[in-house]
Amino acid sequence: MPTVKVRNLKNEEVADLELSDAVFGAEFNEGLVHTAVKAYLAKARAGTVGTKTRGDVSGSGKKLWKQKGTGRARIASIRSPLWKGGGNVHGPQAKDWSHNLPKKMRRGALRSALSERLREGNVIVLDEFTLGAAKTRDFVGALGTLGLEGKTLIVDSHDNDNLLLASRNVKRAKITTSRSLNIYDLLYHEKLVLSRTAAEELNDMLDPKRRTGAHDDAADNGGAAAENTTEEAA
């Protein structure tokens, strides 16, 4: 069972925390993670592009001139694709690109990514990420003390208003919750910071032996992200 050091914002070790072996000790499944990322990105696609066919463009359906005797090419409708302003032939149409991924695969991908981040030494567990005021300077200073210089994903409660407000102008950092964690964010960010509460919630949500009904669907929004918040396995 993996054990990590719990730190405070001064980067001092204050306790030890045992993590679920099923969640943070799983083998890396590259194929599964790849499939989960593709599903996440597909769900995030807008699919709103669309061109007008001859049935969609404006214009009369009346024949412009008689078929024969004018010396001009025959024409049936001003909406013909042959005419400027006419409809488009075989153009792109609006489409829903999303496809469902089984819950077990989504949870399995999250477990695989979390375990790999821990093996890389890129997971930091904090006792709590509490700021005295909603100041970006304090937030950036805390990241510097913890040695977090690259892209950082912080998993904590959305009730932590000071943290949310202080971090919103820092492009290299993102705040999310354990219920909103998704595979894309895990791979995109180089460092993962978990509050102690968030780590315990992930243990409960993603461990098949410990998961309860209350948490059953918490880790299943392989896109709650694509909830445009970004969110979001066996």
Tens of pLDDT, residues 26-58: 999 999 999 999 999 999 998 888 899 988 898
Give CA–CA dist 189/10, Å, rounded.
22
pLDDT value of residue 160: 84
Chain centroid to Cα 51, Å, comes to 29
Beta bridge partners, 123, equal 192
pLDDT value of residue 187: 94
pLDDT value of residue 211: 60
Residue 226's pLDDT band (cuts 50, 70, 90): very low
Domains of the chain, first to last = 3-46+98-229 (3.40.1370.10), 50-93 (no CATH)
CA 141 vs CA 32, 34, 50, 134, 158: distances in Å:
37, 35, 47, 13, 21
Tens of pLDDT, residues 199-210: 999 999 998 877
pLDDT value of residue 212: 54
The arithmetic mean of pLDDT across residues 87-104, rounded, is 90
Residue 208 DSSP code: T
Tens of pLDDT, residues 130-147: 888 889 999 999 999 999
